[in-house]
Amino acid sequence: MSETITLEVIDRLVDIIRSHTSHQPKIGIILGSGLGSLADLVENSNIIPYQELPSWPVSTIEGHQGRLIIGLLEDKPVFFMQGRAHFYEGYNMAIIGLPIRVMKRLGIDTLIITNAAGAINPIFEPGELMLIIDHLNLVGMAGSNPLRGPNLDEFGPRFPDMSRAYDRQLIKLARQVALDNQIKLQEGVYVCLAGPSFETPADLRFLRNAGADAVGMSTVPEVTVARHSGIRVLGISGISNKANLDGNTTTTHEEVLSAGKEIVPQLTTLIKGVLRLL
Ligand code: HPA
């Protein structure tokens, strides 16, 4: 697959998805590693496995179910991605951003994006949620930006503004829901690395000095494509582990998945609360 995604590829996917559902969601929700069970609460759902969608990036990773679930949550039509693909699986960044462009053409104007992340900020604990206030696009700075290649003018400008990547109104709503439900909601800057190897202690000290609070291997490409096309974004990290700044502990994918079980109930309350207020 070439790096360029065309409007034809996007609109073919839109047609296929529309043929499977009569829901017309305006809200898209991406569920990260170990967080997919939230989508099981959707009612009146239409389910489409990613394998049935041509060019759609399919995750090969445990903890990512790999299907679209379109239906009702809190009586609102929502478009769930239960699992996502990552750059480290071998996909180019443009394909990682393809689902967001499909969402845009389906009429989605709000994206709630989640991930599992390691805590760099020493006050964060595994099992907590972090509201993403801003991100560091380290992979993009190094050249792998999902918007690289011909600009699709139908979606947005060649040089999109990223000064407010995470919507201030949605941040306020999330804070309010967390307060009302006694959910501890940390806030901070998320940094996306290419992975798949976890960080060395020196990597982590570098990232901490650069202003990062949590580290993961996703989200930033999707948010970049969403903002290009004017979709407003709420980003939430589930803190799955303490990043290993001193070199005395190890990080494993199993740890990330098991923390997900603790995070899902709080994440569910937070997302349902935000949906009610939208
Ligand atoms: N590092 C990178 N990605 C991650 C981590 C981590 O510690 N935890 C969950 N995703």
Q: Does 1 have pLDDT greater than 60?
A: no
Mutate to test the pocket of ligand 1, among 130, 136, 206, 217 (most ligand atoms within 8 A of CB): 217
Task: Output the residue whose Cα is nearest ligand 1's atom 2.
Answer: 216
* Residue at 1 is within a domain: no
Flag the least confident range among 37-46, 71-80, 248-257: 248-257
Active-site residue flag, 64: yes
| Per-residue confidence (pLDDT) for residue 2, from 0 to 100 | 46
* Residue at 2 is within a domain: no
Atom of ligand 1 nearest to the CA of 117: 9
Structure tokens at 139: 């992979």
Q: Give dist(CA 228, CA 156) in Å, integer.
A: 5
The domain tally of the chain equals: 1
**Band of the pLDDT at 59, cuts 50, 70, 90?**
confident
Active-site residue flag, 89: yes
Buried b (16+ CB within 10 A) or exposed e, 155-194: bbeeebeeeebbbeebbebbeebbeeeebebbbbbbbbbe
CATH of the domain at 82: 3.40.50.1580
Task: Output the residue whose Cα is nearest ligand 1's atom 9.
Answer: 117
Give the structural domain span for 184.
7-277
Flag the least confident range among 181-185, 228-232, 251-255: 251-255
Q: Which of 74, 162, 253, 262 is catalytic?
A: 253
C-alpha gyration radius of the chain = 17
Q: Give dist(CA 184, CA 170) in Å, integer.
A: 17
**Measured on CA atoms in the order 59, 62, 63, 69, is the torsion positive or negative?**
positive
Whether this model's pTM surpasses 0.85 = yes
For residues 159-169, average pLDDT: 97
Task: Output the residue whose Cα is nearest ligand 1's atom 6.
Answer: 118
Active-site residue flag, 218: yes
Report the share of the chain in percent with pLDDT over 70: 98
Q: Give dist(CA 68, CA 235) in Å, integer.
A: 19
Q: Give dist(CA 178, CA 269) in Å, integer.
A: 8
* Residue at 224 is within a domain: yes
Closest by CA position to 220, among listed 121, 135, 126: 135
Q: Give dist(CA 88, CA 90) in Å, integer.
A: 5
Q: Where does ligand 1 bind, in terms of residues with CB under 6 Å?
A: 116-118, 198-199, 215-217, 240-241, 243, 251, 256
**Band of the pLDDT at 3, cuts 50, 70, 90?**
low
Question: What spacing in Å lies between the alpha carbon of 106 and ligand 1's midpoint?
Answer: 31
HSE at residue 75, side-chain half, CA atoms within 13 A, is 3
Q: SS3 of 59, please?
A: coil
Buried b (16+ CB within 10 A) or exposed e, 249-274: eebebebbbebbebbbebbbbbbbbb
pLDDT one-digit tens code per residue, 6-36: 999 999 999 999 999 999 999 999 998 778 7
